[in-house]
Amino acid sequence: MKKIIIKGGNKLRGTVNISGFKNAALPIMVATILTKDKCIIENLPMIRDVDCLKEILIKIGAKVKLIEKGAMEIDTTNIEKCKLTDDINRKMRASYYLLGAGLGRFKESEVLYPGGCDIGVRPIDQHIKGFEALGATVEIDHGIIKCKADKLRGNRIYLDVVSVGATINIMMAATLAEGITIIENAAREPHIVDVANFINACGGKIIGAGTDIIKIVGVERLKGCNYSVIPDQIEAGSYMIMGVATEGDIIVNNVIPKHLEPVTAKLREMGVEVTEYGESIRVTVNKKLRSVDIKTLPYPGFPTDMQQLMSALLSKTKGTSVVTETIFDGRFKFVDELKRMGANILVDGRIAVIKGVENLMGTRVEAKDLRGGAALIVAALSANGVTEINKAYHIERGYEDIIDKLLNLGADIKEG
């Protein structure tokens, strides 16, 4: 997808079905390497990152079959080594999970330094610290991360920063280690729980995922299983914000409302009416919205992945909002694009001061990364006139059928 063209002003109305969670689907697809048996993974979002990871798994020797939309059979029996040193790795972040999964199953893995969204410095020192604590040696040779161990032994690992990637990677390696591993100061995101549930469904013993102390009792082998990925709370939050930006009335369906609490709390603070049902949430705007301050934090704090979309919403909300990004220092790149549309935002390092303007105006803009691209959709939907969002392929990496979903909600949107 090269560009997305949106004519702003239509109020979004209706129901949108939320797909499976990208950030859980990707590590779960990689975690199938931990077993030699076949796994069937359901509720996978049909997005570019999933396609790319499918290609990566095939490249290293797995058999991957799309059974139906959203369901894949992954057979890793014939993989002999987790070695991936070509450029496909630069397309996505999640390829670094091959390090932990490969180390677990083969006691060896080699991966080119991963890519993904350009949202600032993204070190992997905590992943390495964890692998080394389990007994591996890790070497970085011409940009290739090489992990090797004669034997993996459980250990106590304290993470210096709360990292989703490091927590998942260490969990995967420790699953097939000897003895008990304890991860302290672990990340608590819902997708960590989902990956742990998948591994446990295969016969693993991970206890405490979702808290900051995770205990992994090493097992000798895992078996295959059928597993369904949790709904994507970031996709759900994105549509909620898009609905609010147009002063619409929408229901996001197939969600776990608890996972969306940090977003619903802020929307309520702004004056949005949010109603939670068992597996859906309705957002309605009945009054003038207020500005709010946002500070991104690890879960259950406000998610960094929603910051850009929320900032786009606040750029048209009366009053002044202060947005503090504590997780990734490069997550304000989309602000220059919003300014082209008339937003009044001052960025100083990790802080953005947003003075809500009466109107945004459609123009030609460029998606800089996945969520920054989605933020431009938020702005475009509520802007006067037509917005052309270039480099829309970033958006495709994380949103399944976004054009059709927005068309169904009544947006004037097309692919260019």
Q: Which residues are catalytic?
A: 117
> What values do phi and psi take at 167, rounded to 5?
-60, -45
Contact status: 166 vs ligand UD1 (CB under 6 A): yes
Angle between helices 233-245 and 304-314 (to 10 degrees): 0
Whose tokens are 């670094």? That residue is 96
**Where does this chain touch ligand UD1 (CB under 6 A) — which range of 35-43, 79-87, 117-125, 254-262?**
117-125
Residue 27, phi-psi category: left (phi > 0), alpha (psi -120 to 50), beta (remainder): alpha
Q: Does 94 bind ligand UD1 (CB under 6 A)?
A: yes
Site string for ligand UD1, 175-204 (x = CB under 6 A): ------------x-----------------
> Which residue of this chain has its Cβ atom nearest to ligand UD1 in the complex?
165
Distance CA 263, CA 130 (A): 31
Q: Alpha-carbon distance 87 to 85, whole Å? A: 7
Residue 333 binding ligand UD1, by CB under 6 A: no
Selected binder of ligand UD1 within 194, 305, 396, 400 (CB under 6 A): 305
The CB density around residue 243, as the number of other CB atoms within 10 Å, is: 28
Question: Any contact of residue 232 with ligand UD1 (CB under 6 A)?
Answer: no
Whose Cβ is closer to ligand UD1: residue 149's or residue 187's? 187
User: How many of the chain's residues bind ligand UD1 (CB under 6 A)?
Assistant: 21
User: Judged by CB under 6 A, which stretch of 115-123, 141-149, 264-272, 388-396 contacts ligand UD1?
Assistant: 115-123
Q: Is 125 in the site for ligand UD1 (CB under 6 A)?
A: yes
170 binds ligand UD1 (CB under 6 A): no
Segment lying near ligand UD1 (by CB under 6 A), choices 37-45, 121-129, 254-262, 308-316: 121-129
In the DSSP assignment, the letter for residue 29 is H
Asked if 154 touches ligand UD1 (CB under 6 A), the answer is: no
- Comparing C-alpha atoms, which of 62, 53, 55 is closest to residue 94? 53
Neighbours of 361 (CB within 10 A): 16
Q: Is the peptide bond before 300 cis (omega within 30 degrees of 0)?
A: yes
The answer to whether residue 122 forms part of the interface with ligand UD1 (CB under 6 A) is yes
Residue listed under structure tokens 């004669």: 150
Among 35, 89, 95, 126, binds ligand UD1 (CB under 6 A): 126
Which residues on neighbouring strands pair with residue 111, listed in sequence order? 84, 145
Q: What CA–CA distance (Å, rounded) separates 37 from 225? A: 8
Task: Indicate if the alpha-carbon torsion angle 202, 206, 207, 209 is positive or negative.
Answer: negative
Is-contact 339 228, C-beta < 8 A? no
Alpha-carbon distance values, 302 to 144, 231, 308, 388, 397 (Å): 33, 18, 12, 29, 22
Choices 164-172, 177-185, 269-277, 407-415 (CB under 6 A): range interacting with ligand UD1: 164-172
Q: Which of residues 8-47 bind ligand UD1 (CB under 6 A)?
A: 23, 26
Contacts of residue 123, Cβ cutoff 8 Å, sequence gap at least 6: none
Contact residue for ligand UD1 among 112, 124, 147, 289 (CB under 6 A): 124
**Residue 95, interface with ligand UD1 (CB under 6 A)?**
no
Q: Is the dihedral of CA 403, 407, 411, 413 positive or negative?
A: positive
Instruction: Considering only the stretches 118-126, 194-202, 285-293, 338-346, report the one whose residues sit in contact with ligand UD1 under the rule CB under 6 A.
Output: 118-126
**Binding site residues, ligand UD1, CB under 6 A:** 23, 26, 93-94, 121-127, 161, 163-166, 187, 304-305, 327-328
